[in-house]
């Protein structure tokens, strides 16, 4: 509060702690008091101003006011920090999934327990001593799993994938009742198609984990892995090779997709969805008739997504027919275009929907099992999914 605004106040009134957080805008108006935080003007003197800030009785005693005010300050500080936290997230482009991680919640709790004035780690500390400590911590964690491998046995799992630079990478994991441990990622671009080279790679990892600990090797069904694992089980007869169930099912779905009637129906379904989503006005009309229920667009890599595309089309069959039969469609320029006419013909061809229904019945059980074996939440053993 400025000295000008303090003028005219009695010594008794100036001694009230409420004046630390409020001030007079007009020295001549002793009743209109402004809150320093929200700038709200209250009428009724300092007691009414304090009541506004702590949302309590205006005749609150001084000690209780100070306690209540401290709680108010803490809540407002928390609110300010809560606003800053997502801004860190956005500026650093941190994925929102981090908020679901236990370690993130533990970090926030630790920072809050320390209180204000916590000095954040420097760039040098993060990249050298703290990183070194974290590596040691991870090594100790892996050693804890290692002791279980010798006691209960384990499985070596391979996960092949291609990165943005078109490199073929293979991730090696070791699974046991205690959990799954990532061991290493290997760039196999130069020899991934060569069975002998893959065999050498697998053999080295079995030796690294310990042949006496390994019960099975789990890979996809590529011919290179088949040849390598056959050679490996010949050299080490106590090992078993198990093909990846998810990859098996995806290959089965892919083979079904090569059947002529299935292939043509899928192509029509993909064209229909692609046409709708490639034309903004047509998409908006479609959403109007489907109550904003989206159609599933087929993915490039996983064949199972075509099932979801056909399923979404089948679900919206009536709405799509109503849309293409509406004046909004027929009066638009799209109805006269070649691609528009093709999309219209697909929707009103009975044979297309008969084939869609048939494909869903064939592929449905396989997709259901694929979802079970390919989930990351719980083991897939024990399911009678295709009974």
Residues 239 and 293 in one domain: no
Residue 222 scores a pLDDT above 70: yes
For residue 142, tell me if it sits in a domain: no
Looking at the 3D structure of the chain, how many domains does it have?
3
Whether 264 and 288 map to the same domain: the answer is yes
Whether residue 143 lies inside any domain: the answer is: no
Place 385 in a pLDDT band, splitting at 50, 70 and 90.
very low
- Give yes or no: residues 233 and 259 share one domain: no
Phi, psi of 198 (to 5 degrees): -65, -35
pLDDT class of 28 with cuts at 50, 70, 90: confident
In a domain, 154, yes or no: yes
pLDDT given for residue 321 in this prediction? 94
Q: Tell me what the mean pLDDT of segment 84-112 comes to.
A: 84
34 and 101 assigned to the same domain: yes
Integer Cα distance of 266 and 254 in angstroms: 12
Q: Tell me how far the alpha carbon of residue 245 is from its chain's centroid.
A: 24
State whether 234 and 266 are in the same domain: no
Which of 43-47, 100-104, 285-289 shows the lowest mean pLDDT across its residues? 43-47
Greater pLDDT, 57 or 138: 138
92 and 161 belong to one structural domain? no
Q: Is residue 381 part of a domain?
A: no
Residue 214, SS3 per DSSP? strand
Please report, for residues 364, 368, 371, 372, the alpha-carbon distance to residue 384 in angstroms, rounded to integers and kept in the order given: 15, 11, 13, 10
Per-residue pLDDT averaged across 113-121, rounded? 81
Q: Are residues 189 and 300 in the same domain?
A: no
The residue ranking higher by pLDDT, 74 or 361, is 361
Say if residue 221 is in the same domain as residue 264: no
pLDDT of residue 8: 47
Both structure tokens of 382: 């024990």
Q: Would residue 129 count as lying in a domain?
A: no
Separation CA 131–CA 180 (nearest Å): 22
133 lies in some domain:
no
Residues whose CB is less than 8 angstroms from the CB of residue 69 and which lie 6 or more positions away in sequence, other chains included:
17, 21, 50, 53, 54
**Does the structure show a pLDDT above 90 at 25?**
no
CATH of the domain at 159: 3.30.420.60
The Cα–Cα gap between 194 and 50 comes to 79
Clarify whether residues 230 and 268 are in a common domain: no
Same domain as 167, residue 93: no
Q: Which domain holds residue 102?
A: 1-120
pLDDT at 35 over 60: yes
Evaluate the CA torsion angle 321, 327, 331, 332 in order and state its sign: negative
Question: Buried b vs exposed e over 12-26: b needs ≥16 C-beta within 10 Å?
Answer: eeeebebbebbebee
Find the helix or strand (DSSP H, E) in which 173 lies: strand 168-176
Q: What average pLDDT does range 2-16 have in this prediction?
A: 50
Q: Same domain for 25 and 109?
A: yes
Whole-angstrom Cα distance, residue 7 to residue 284? 66
pTM, two decimal places: 0.56
Would 227 be classed as within a structural domain? yes
The answer to whether residue 189 is domain-embedded is yes
Q: What is the DSSP letter of 271?
A: H
Q: How does residue 7 score in pLDDT terms, banded at 50, 70 and 90? A: very low
- Pair 181, 80 in one domain: no
| 271-329 pLDDT tens trace | 999 999 999 989 999 999 988 888 876 654 466 788 888 999 999 999 999 999 999 99
Q: Report the C-alpha gap between 256 and 270 in whole angstroms.
A: 16
- Asked whether 180 and 174 are in contact (CB, 8 A), the reply is yes
């Amino acid at each position: 509060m400025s000295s000008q605004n303090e003028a005219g106040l009695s010594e008794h009134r100036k001694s009230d702690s409420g004046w630390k957080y409020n001030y007079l805008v007009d020295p001549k108006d002793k009743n209109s008091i402004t809150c320093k935080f929200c700038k709200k003007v209250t009428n009724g003197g300092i007691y009414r101003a304090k009541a506004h800030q702590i949302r309590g009785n205006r005749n609150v005693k001084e000690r209780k006011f100070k306690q209540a005010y401290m709680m108010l300050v803490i809540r407002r500080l928390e609110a300010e920090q809560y606003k800053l936290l997502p801004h860190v997230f956005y500026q650093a482009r941190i994925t929102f999934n981090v908020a679901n991680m236990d370690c993130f919640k533990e970090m926030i709790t630790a920072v809050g327990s320390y209180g204000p004035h916590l000095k954040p780690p420097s760039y040098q500390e993060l990249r050298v001593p703290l990183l070194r400590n974290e590596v040691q911590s991870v090594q100790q964690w892996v050693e804890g799993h290692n002791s279980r491998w010798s006691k209960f046995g384990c499985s070596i799992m391979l996960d092949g994938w291609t990165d943005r630079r078109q490199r073929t990478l293979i991730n090696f994991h070791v699974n046991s009742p205690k959990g799954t441990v990532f061991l290493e990622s290997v760039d196999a671009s130069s020899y991934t198609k060569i069975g002998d080279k893959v065999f050498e790679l697998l053999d080295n990892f079995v030796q690294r984990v310990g042949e006496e600990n390994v019960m099975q090797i789990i890979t996809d069904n590529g011919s290179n892995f088949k040849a390598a694992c056959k050679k490996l089980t010949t050299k080490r007869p106590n090992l078993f090779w198990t093909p990846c169930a998810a990859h098996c099912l995806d290959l089965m779905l892919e083979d079904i997709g090569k059947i002529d009637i299935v292939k043509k129906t899928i192509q029509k379904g993909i064209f229909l969805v692609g046409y709708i989503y490639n034309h903004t006005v047509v998409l908006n009309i479609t959403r109007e008739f489907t109550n904003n229920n989206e159609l599933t667009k087929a993915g490039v890599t996983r064949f199972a997504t075509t099932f979801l595309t056909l399923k979404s089309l089948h679900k919206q069959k009536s709405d799509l027919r109503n849309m293409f039969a509406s004046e909004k469609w027929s009066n638009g320029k799209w109805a006269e275009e070649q691609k528009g006419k093709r999309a219209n013909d697909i929707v009103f061809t009975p044979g297309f929907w008969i084939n869609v229904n048939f494909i869903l019945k064939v592929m449905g059980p396989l997709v259901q099992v694929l979802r079970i074996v390919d989930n990351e939440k719980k083991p897939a053993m024990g399911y009678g999914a295709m009974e």
